[in-house]
């Protein structure tokens, strides 16, 4: 696919500016350090039902720790990030709720859980009924699509805390999985195969860097045409985060999955190691899939180093499924039958220290 051209402002600036996530205000290493330092605090609160340390995509809690057959609840909380800024600029709020629900669904799906219910937190400086209802319409639409009840939430009006016209949105999801069906990556071993499922765009990560490139460096507006795509900037940047529930559920039913990673903040570089056991690394072949034009344009216009692109954006891969070598054909066939024709082998597990190595 042809690389999209960038506007004249970007072309002039590229000679002098190299961008990365940290220069845009997001320090991934600081975030990882926070997680490392608060693990002990969280561990000090553990009760007998807790089955996993923090750092997993979702928290695991058994309703009956003494029983191997008792159902396990899987919970996760997340936000939409600065994609909200784009929604506010474009005055389009009907898909932000969809982003949030689908992100949270994927975070518990990678541990084998199916969603039960969802709650939201909506905070703003001055309440606009039209905006709030539009956001909740997106939440409800995604909950219906994922078979998940929108159980409740909180609407907070906080004058002086948020600028007029801005809001924040967070979500909390609880799902269920049988203890014997938990997917945690423990059985992944060298030789297992990585299958990548395509993303629909940026999903809900990397927007602090993307916004800076698009609006400051390229000089575009939300109603400008995004280079090479024939759609507006708003259409491209507000494309909803995908839910992988419908296509992955048949794999879970068939017990084909050894591990899964939701490719969100940190990209493949930081998210795939979260499901690898000690002594196992991963090799990802960059040429195994075609990077979508939106990422090519952002990387080129911002002169973003390859390493930073792989750690900031999903680069066209929204979910990675790890399967045994003998199950690859069956897995790909099952995914295609479930409406996932873009699924493809992108690498394999190998000896290592829970790190990702990239090859051409």
> Which helix (H) or strand (E) segment is 252 a member of?
helix 245-253
Average pLDDT on 45-69 reads 88
- 67-87 tens-digit pLDDT: 888 899 999 999 999 999 999
* Residues 6 or more apart whose Cβ sits within 8 Å of residue 330: 254, 256
Q: Nearest 5°: phi and psi at 217?
A: -80, -45
**pLDDT for res 32:** 72
Query: Higher confidence at residue 7 or residue 69?
Result: 69
**pLDDT for res 33:** 84
Query: Higher confidence at residue 56 or residue 79?
Result: 79
Please say if the pLDDT value at position 279 is more than 70: yes
Q: Is the dihedral of CA 214, 216, 218, 219 positive or negative?
A: positive
Place 7 in a pLDDT band, splitting at 50, 70 and 90.
very low
Architecture of domain 46-181: 2-Layer Sandwich (3.30)
**pLDDT for res 16:** 38
Q: Nearest 5°: phi and psi at 344?
A: -155, 155
Please say if the pLDDT value at position 23 is more than 80: no
> Which helix (H) or strand (E) segment is 99 a member of?
helix 96-109
Q: What is the dihedral of CA 133, 135, 140, 146, to 10 degrees?
A: 180
DSSP assignment of 119-153 equals EEEEEESS--HHHHHHHHHHHHHHHHHTT-EEEEE
Q: What is the distance between the alpha carbons of residues 87 and 224, in angstroms, rounded to a whole number?
A: 15
Place 268 in a pLDDT band, splitting at 50, 70 and 90.
very high
Q: What is the distance between the alpha carbons of residues 190 and 349, in angstroms, rounded to a whole number?
A: 5
Place of tokens 């529930």: 245
Structural contact between residues 171 and 140, judged by C-beta atoms closer than 8 angstroms: no
Q: Which of 72, 107, 74 is nearest to 243 (CA)?
A: 107
Percent of the chain with pLDDT over 70: 92
Domain range summary for the chain, segments of one domain joined by +: 8-24+186-359, 46-181
Place 66 in a pLDDT band, splitting at 50, 70 and 90.
confident
* Residues 6 or more apart whose Cβ sits within 8 Å of residue 36: none
Q: What is the distance between the alpha carbons of residues 267 and 52, in angstroms, rounded to a whole number?
A: 22
Please say if the pLDDT value at position 88 is more than 70: yes
Please say if the pLDDT value at position 356 is more than 60: yes
Architecture of domain 8-24+186-359: Alpha-Beta Complex (3.90)
DSSP assignment of 285-315 equals EGGGSPPPHHHHHHHHHTT--HHHHHHHS-T
Place 34 in a pLDDT band, splitting at 50, 70 and 90.
confident
Mean pLDDT of the chain: 92
**pLDDT for res 92:** 98
Give one word for 7, left, alpha or beta, with left for phi > 0 and alpha for psi -120 to 50: beta
- pTM for this one? 0.90
**pLDDT for res 265:** 92
Please say if the pLDDT value at position 347 is more than 50: yes
- 119-147 tens-digit pLDDT: 999 999 999 999 999 999 999 999 999 99
Average pLDDT on 238-258 reads 98
**pLDDT for res 58:** 94
Examine domains 8-24+186-359 and 46-181 and report if their fold is the same. no
**pLDDT for res 2:** 33
Place 8 in a pLDDT band, splitting at 50, 70 and 90.
very low
CA distance to 202, 238, 273, 295, 298, per residue, from 233 (Å): 12, 8, 33, 13, 12
Percent of the chain with pLDDT over 90: 85
Place 19 in a pLDDT band, splitting at 50, 70 and 90.
low
Q: What angle do CA 56, 196, 294 make, to 5 degrees?
A: 100
Place 203 in a pLDDT band, splitting at 50, 70 and 90.
very high
Q: What angle do CA 304, 305, 310 make, to 5 degrees?
A: 95
Q: What is the distance between the alpha carbons of residues 107 and 129, in angstroms, rounded to a whole number?
A: 30
**pLDDT for res 28:** 65
Would you tell me how many other CB atoms lie within 10 Å of the CB of residue 39?
Answer: 13
């Amino acid at each position: 696919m042809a690389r999209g051209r960038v506007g004249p402002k970007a072309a002039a600036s590229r000679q002098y500016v190299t961008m990365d996530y940290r220069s845009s205000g997001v320090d991934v290493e600081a975030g990882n350090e926070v997680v490392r330092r608060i693990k002990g605090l969280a561990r000090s609160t553990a009760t007998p039902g807790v089955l996993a340390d923090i750092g997993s995509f979702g928290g695991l809690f058994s309703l009956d720790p003494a029983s191997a057959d008792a159902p396990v609840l899987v919970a996760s909380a997340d936000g939409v990030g600065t994609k909200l800024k784009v929604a506010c600029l474009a005055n389009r709020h009907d898909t932000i709720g969809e982003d949030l629900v689908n992100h949270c669904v994927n975070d518990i799906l990678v541990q084998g859980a199916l969603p039960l219910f969802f709650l939201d937190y909506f905070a703003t400086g001055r309440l606009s009924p039209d905006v709030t209802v539009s956001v909740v319409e997106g939440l409800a639409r995604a909950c219906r699509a994922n078979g998940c009840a929108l159980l409740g939430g909180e609407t907070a009006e906080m004058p002086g805390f948020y600028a007029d016209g801005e809001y924040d949105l967070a979500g909390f999801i609880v799902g269920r999985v049988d203890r014997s069906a938990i997917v945690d990556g423990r059985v992944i071993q060298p030789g297992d195969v990585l299958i990548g499922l395509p993303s629909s765009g940026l999903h809900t990560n990397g927007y602090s860097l993307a916004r800076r490139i698009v609006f400051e460096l390229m000089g575009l507006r939300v109603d400008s045409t995004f280079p090479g795509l024939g759609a507006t900037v708003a259409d491209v940047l507000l494309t909803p985060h995908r839910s992988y529930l419908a296509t992955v559920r048949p794999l879970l039913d068939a017990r084909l999955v050894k591990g899964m990673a939701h490719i969100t903040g940190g990209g493949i570089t930081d998210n795939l190691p979260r499901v690898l056991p000690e002594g196992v690394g991963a090799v990802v072949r960059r040429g195994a899939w075609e990077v979508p034009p939106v990422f090519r344009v952002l990387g080129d216009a911002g002169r973003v180093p390859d390493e930073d692109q792989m750690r900031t954006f999903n680069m066209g891969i929204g979910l990675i499924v790890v399967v045994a070598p003998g199950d690859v054909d069956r897995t790909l066939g099952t995914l295609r039958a479930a409406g996932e024709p873009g699924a493809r082998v992108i690498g394999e597990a190998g000896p290592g220290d829970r790190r990702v190595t990239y090859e051409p």
